[in-house]
Chain A
Amino acid sequence: MPLPTASRWSRSGLLARRRVVERAGWASLVVVVGLLVAFGLTTGQLGTLRIATTALMYVVLTEAWSVLGGYGGYLNFGMAMFFGVGAYTTAIVAKEASIPPLETVVAAGVVAGLLAVAVGLPSLRLRGAYFAIVTFVLTLAVQQLVMVLGITNGSLGLYLQPLALSARAADQLYFFIFLGFALLVALGVRQIGRSRFGAALVAIREDEDAAEVLGVPTTRVKLIAFVVAAVLAGMVGCLYAAQLYYIEPVGTFQFSVSLNVVVAAIVGGAQSWVGPLLGASATQVLSQELLTHTQGVDGTLALGGLLVIFARFVPGGIAGFFRRRRGTKVSL
C-alpha cells in the first residue's frame, strides 16, 4: 500500500493534523515525566532507580551527540573522551579544593569544552570516516595519558567523597538531577533544530561544499556543535564520578560509552531531538534487562544486532519510522 504523502491532504488539514500530533506528543512527554517523578519519589527499588538514572544519563549524552552527529552528520566517537575528562576534572578539583564533587560540574564542562576546541580545530577540517577515526584514536590517547599522569593517580584511579546522605536519598538525588538535565538538554536540542544554527548544521550534512558556497561558516558551526556536545558530556562525567565514588581510566574512558551513544542515536533516530530520547531509553533498558535476565548474553552483541537491523531496515530510527508512517513530520 502506498504511504500517504503531504500532497494528499489539503494545507489546512495537514496543519490541523500536525497540531494534533504535536499536542499528543507534548501530552505524552508530560505524562512520562510525571510518571518518572512519581517513581523517583516513591520507589525503594534502588537498582531500578539506578538503571533509570543510567538511561537518563545516556539521553543527555545522545542528545548532546546528536547536535553534530544528527543534525550535522558527523560521526563522533569521542564522547567517552569528554565524559572521562569531565569525570577526572571533578575528582581532581574536588580533591584539591576539598569541595563536594557536585560543585565541580561547571569546571568539568569547561575543561571538556576547552579540550574540544583543541581537538576540534584541526580534526573538524576532516570529513566522514577520517573524523570518526580521529575522535576514536584521541579517546585512546587521552586514556593512556590519564594512565601515566601523577595528578590522575595513574591506573590506581581516584576516590571521591560520597554524599552525606542515605543510599536511597543519594540515588534519588542523582535520578532527579539527571531527569532535569535530560529535559533541559532535550529542549535545548529541539531549539537548536529550529534555529539558524541548526539549519546550518543540516546544510552541512546535506552538502558541505554547497553550504560553504552559500556562506555557511562550516568549520565554525561544526566546532560550536562539537564543543556543545563536549561540555555536556563533561558535565555528565562529573555526575557519573560523583555517583560512583571511584573512577579509573579503563572503566571511565571505555569505548562502550561512545558506542552506546551512537547506537542509541541510530536506533532512536539522530535527526530530531525525540530520537535520542527514545533510543537511549530503549537501548539502555534493553542492555540492563539482558544483563539481568540472560547471564551469558553480551549486551554489546545484542546492541550490535539492533544496530545492523536499524541501519539496514529503519535508517531514520524509531522517530524516522513514525514520521514516514504518518507521511508527515512529527513536530514537537
Chain B
Amino acid sequence: MNNKTTFLKRGAVSLLGVGALLGGLTATGAGATTPARAVHRLSGAPITIGGTLGLTGAFSEPSAEYRQVYQLWQHQVNARGGLLGRPVKITIMNDNSSPSTAATEYQTLISQDHVDFLLAPYTTYVGAPIVPIARAANKILFNGGFVGIQYFDQDKGWMVGSYTYQEPDYPKGVFKLIEAMPANKRPKKVAILAAQNPFTIVGEKGYNGVGGAINYAKQAHMQVVFDEEYPASTTDFTQVVQKAKASGAQVLIVLGLPDDSDLIAKTVKVIGWKPTIECMCGSQVTTLANWPSLGSATNGVLGTDVAWVTQKFPGLALLQRFANQRHETVIPNYDVTAYAILQMLQQSVEGTHSLNQAKIRAWLLSHKVQTAVGTFKLNANGTTPFNEIVTQTIGKKQEPVWPPSVATAKLVAPLP
C-alpha cells in the first residue's frame, strides 16, 4: 500500500536524518567533541530509561516517530556528557499496539531490566493500564505519548506529561478562534465527527462536564446540528460526511486519529463540501508527514499543535532541522512531545542530582522546566499548563492563526 511504502521510505530517511543531524550537532558545537570521544569520557553504569511503543500494529507510524526522537535525544545527551556523568541508555520494547502486551513488557522493564525511568507508550488506550503498574512500582511515568486527564488526576503527579492540552481541550482553540471572528461572519452551526477511542470521545463530550467540543460549542452560542461517533477502523466516510453536510453545518470538527482524519479530509473534498471552518482537531494530523500528500484536500483546513517553531522554545530549532532533513516542513507533534518529556527528565535528574523518584517528582512539581513545549511549572496533577496553537493550511503552507501572540497569518474563512 502507498502509506506503507511511504512509511518505510520515511523510516530509512529518518535513520539517515538522525545520523546527519548528529554529525551537524557535533560540528556546530552542541558538543565541542565528537559523540564517540564524549561517550568515552562517561563513566559508571548507564542510566536506563525504558518504555514500549507500538512498533508494529495499528500505531506503528506514530510510534516510529517517537523512537527516532528518543534515539536522537539519547545520542545528543551522551554526546554532551550524559546524565550526572553517566551514559544514558534508552530501551524501547515493541508492544504491538496492544495494552496487555504493553503491561507485560512494563513489568519486564521494572522487575527484570530494573530501568531507572519509565517512558509511557503511545496513545491512551495502550497507556491506561500502565499507569497503575508504574505507580505500584513507585516509578514516575514520563508521558510524552498520550493524553488522559482522568489518569493524571488519579496519579497525582506520579505521571508527568508533555502534551500542553489534554483531551477535553483539543477543540478549545478553534472555538476561541471562532468567537474572535466578527459577529456577522461567525458561523452558527457545527457538526462533530469523533472516532470511537478514549481520548477523542472526551474531546467530544468533555470530562466531568468541562471541555469537549459539545460544551465549547454551547459556550460559543453555536448549535450542534450533527454529532456522530465512528469506529476508528472506518475506511469509507462518504455517507457520514454527506449527512454532516446535509445537516447545514458551517463548521466541521473532526476528532480522529491520523488515518481516519486524513480520510475524512479527502472525503470532504471529494463530495465538494466547503464548510466555513473545517478542523482536524484530533491527533494533530496536520503536523504529520502524510498531510501534504493529501493535496488540495488540505486547503483551508485547521489543525492544532503543542508548539510552533517561531516560539523558539528549547529544542524546537533542532527538531525543525530534523524534520527538514526528512523533507518535512512542519515538526510532527509527536517529535515535540517526545523530546519535551525527555527534557523534563533530564532537567529533573540534573536538578536533584539523584535518581530517586520521590525527589524527582517533588522537584518536577515545584520547579520550572524549559522544554520544546514551553517554559512552565507543571500543574499539581502532572499535566502542563494549557497552551495550544491553531494552524491553517493554505496552499502548501501551514501557519499558526491562533492565539494572536503566535499567529503569523490571519484565518481565511470561508475560503474565497
Chain A residues close to B by CB (< 8 Å): 44-51, 54, 144, 147-148, 154-157, 159, 162, 166-168, 171, 240, 244-246, 248-251, 254, 256, 288, 291-292, 295-300
Contacts and interface: CB of A to CB of B under 8 A. Distances in A.
Contact of B104 (A50, A159, A168, A299): A50
Given A147-B231, A166-B136, A167-B136, A157 B125 contact: yes
A47 B104 contact: yes
Contacts of B100: 54, 240, 244, 251
Given A155-B201, A244-B129, A251-B125, A47 B99 contact: no
B179 interface: no
B196 A168 contact: no
Contact of B198 (A48, A248, A297): A248
A144 B99 contact: no
Interface in B73-122: 92-96, 98-101, 103-105, 107-112
A48 B55 contact: no
The 4 A-B pairs with the shortest beta carbon distances in the complex, nearest first, are A47-B108, A46-B111, A46-B107, A50-B104
A57 B379 CA distance: 41
Nearest to B127: A246
B366 interface: no
A245 B201 CA distance: 20
B104 A54 contact: yes
7 contacts: A50-B104, A155-B201, A162-B136, A167-B133, A244-B99, A246-B132, A250-B196
Contacts of A46: 107-108, 110-112
Interface of B: 55-57, 92-96, 98-101, 103-105, 107-112, 125-126, 128-129, 132-133, 136-137, 195-198, 200-202, 229, 231-232
B198 A47 contact: no
Contacts of B229: 147-148, 154-155
B112 A47 contact: yes
A326 B404 CA distance: 80
B259 to A, nearest CB: 14
A245 B55 CA distance: 24
Contacts of A251: 98-100, 125-126
Given A44-B111, A46-B111, A157-B125, A250 B197 contact: yes
Contacts of B55: 295-296
Contacts of A49: 107
Nearest to A167: B136
Contacts of A295: 55, 92-94
A171 B107 contact: yes
A298 B197 contact: no
Given A50-B104, A288-B104, A45 B99 contact: no
B136 A250 contact: no
A154 B205 CA distance: 12
A225 B56 CA distance: 35
Nearest to A256: B98
A147 B196 contact: yes
Nearest to A294: B94
Contacts of A240: 100
A244 B111 CA distance: 17
A245 B131 CA distance: 10
Contacts of A248: 125, 128, 198
A156 B198 contact: yes
